[in-house]
Amino acid sequence: MTSTLTTPPVSRGMRHRRPRRSPVPFFAPLVIWAGAAGVLALWWSDTGSVVGPAGWLTGAGRITGLLAGYACAVLLALMARIPLLDHTIGTDRLARWHALGGRCTISLVLAHTLLIIWGYSLTSHTGLVSQTSTLVLHYPDLLKATAGFLLFLATGILSARAARRRMSYETWHYLHFATYVAVFLAFGHQLSNGADFVGNRPARIAWYTLFLGVAALLAWYRFAVPVRRGLRHRMRVSAVRPEAPGVVSVHLTGEHLDELGGEPGQFLRWRFMTRGLWWTANPYSLSAPAHPRHLRITVKTAGGHSAALAHLTPGTRVWAEGPYGAFTANRRTTPKVLLLAGGVGITPLRALFETLPGQVTLVYRARRPDDLALRGEIDAIAARRQATVHYLVDKAAGHPSPLTAPGLSALVPDLASHDVYVCGPPGMTQTAKNALREAGVPARRIHHESFAF
């Protein structure tokens, strides 16, 4: 079934202004690669001639060790929730960089370990087992580094997709704190044993500056800022209201909430200070524009944490970290915008629907008419801003899906000239993105942000 609320597709009172594209997503990878080049330059400057198999193996071990140490600092910086990176690159994109970097780091750590043991064993004419025992037990800080190495391996195994699917978000999140311990344990041995640092004071200062700088960013943005904001804003639950089967809106009040700077399309990590929920902070999008005294999230039951939100009592204290994400109006590049929502993916798009300037069309898909959460609000916004809304409800088997290039093109004339914001279940999102590309929408105009990090 398709239901359409159509009014003249011109937004009155909303002047289109093309946002400036941030250079950060372009320059951030360049800075990372420049740092890696600097690490290689450090090895080159401290290396004379490389002679024989032992020299080549040991040299390769030094290179991989330096790169692994540098990669650890980069991994931690990517997940430090630095607003400049998070609000321009996007949380999910940073998470993908982090995941790719994590696999590379573990590979470098493994290569460093094997190459150093092999190279040293050739130099000293001893067996691999004997050389391993000598390194671990008799070299400064190597025993701690071995423990860190094992923690890295364990974290990598638990982060694999097959293992990740078998554990809750909360468990996975807290297990990742082992990475901090692993870096701390492994850090010392580079300075005490690394040929590139022993006797090289500028290199030691640079390495300390890198890691202490990243540690300061983590301490500030991951811990100090959330605590400071929790004390400042004093948020509490004011009401919980049903919106659709299995979907509720949680209304929150607080002080100076405008200082949070939450934009439509962004999310926060919410910690509800009640039994069973206080120990974890889960990501939920704002489902309405932020107000100095009120915020709202709309959540669908998808697990124990989200199900428990329906039973929150007014007055429950709330701590929030954020806002996060780059799924905002700043991604828009044209005056025409299509918002494509599936199920509870309407949450951030409802806030964008109210605030985006220009000509905006909303396509909202659900399984049943009863599942169209926030429909009354959406209709009121559409009437007020003179926009177009298409409600799509799954049809009986045998009917074509509207999430195809021809189907979307029929709903949205001149589709290829639109920016498209997509939010919904992973399967629906991928189907929609494929259909949009087939319909001629450039990839740079298809905007999507995932919570799968």
Task: Convert the pLDDT of each residue in 270-300 to its tens digit.
Answer: 999 998 888 888 889 999 998 889 999 999 9
pLDDT > 90: percent of the chain: 47
Over residues 198-205, the mean pLDDT reads 86
DSSP, res 224: I
Query: To which H or E segment does residue 181 belong?
Result: helix 178-193
Instruction: Locate the domains of the chain by residue range.
Output: 2-17+332-448, 24-229, 234-324
Please tell me whether residue 250 adopts helix, strand or coil conformation: strand
Name the class of domain 234-324: mainly beta
Higher pLDDT, 247 or 398: 247
DSSP state of 269: E
Pairwise CA distance, residues 279 & 372, whole Å: 32
* pLDDT computed for residue 1 by the predictor: 44
The domain at 2-17+332-448 falls in which architecture? 3-Layer(aba) Sandwich (3.40)
Identify the residue whose tokens are 């390495």: 207
More confident: 368 or 158: 368
* Cβ neighbours for 445, distance < 8 A, ≥ 6 positions apart: 333, 334, 418, 419, 420
pLDDT band with cut points at 50, 70 and 90 for residue 17:
low
What share of the chain has pLDDT > 70, as a percent? 91
215 pLDDT band, cuts 50/70/90, is very high
pLDDT at site 397 = 45
8 Cβ contact partners less than 8 Å away, ≥ 6 residues apart: 386
